[in-house]
Amino acid sequence: MPETGNRRVMAFDFGTRRIGVATGQEMLGTGQPVALIAARDGIPDWQKIEMLLQEWRPDLVVVGLPLNMDDTENDMCARARKFGKRLHGRYHVPVEMVDERLTSFEAKGDVMAAGGNRDFGRHGVDDRAAVLILETWFGLQGNLAGE
């Protein structure tokens, strides 16, 4: 794995109907949306995920953890953690969870401000939320390093 600060990272915004995916370079600290993956009751198209992992070859994967505002966990947290464990188990990629509170709300505002709606174009709220999750993780790395 490349040294900290130079890793390729992929983020997932887990949902029961759609999973947003983003990727980025840790050195740049920004992400870009790459896919929306359909899910059936939280079960993703694993073949599509495998294709994305092979194409982008991330050094690390982050999965959004939808904590409640009071820091407690809910049913979706358990499902997101299970998704992260399955990513690690299936593809042997390191997985970290990151607090994603309010990312979907912010992503929806971003999409609407750009003149779109929930299903706007190729990208929508869920993959924009994945970008925000990724950028949150990048920001935490800078804080952890004391920058």
Going through 45-130 in order, the beta strands assigned E by DSSP cover 60-65, 95-99
The tens digit of pLDDT for each residue in 93-114 reads 999 999 987 555 454 555 445 5
3 DSSP 8-state letter:
P
Sorted by where each starts, the structural domains of the chain and their CATH numbers stand as 8-144 (3.30.420.140)
In this structure, what token pair is assigned to residue 37?
Answer: 């993956």
Contact of 84 with 63, CB cutoff 8 Å:
yes
Q: Which of 24-33, 106-115, 119-128 has the lowest mean pLDDT?
A: 106-115
Q: What is the pLDDT of residue 102?
A: 58
Going through 49-140 in order, the beta strands assigned E by DSSP cover 60-65, 95-99
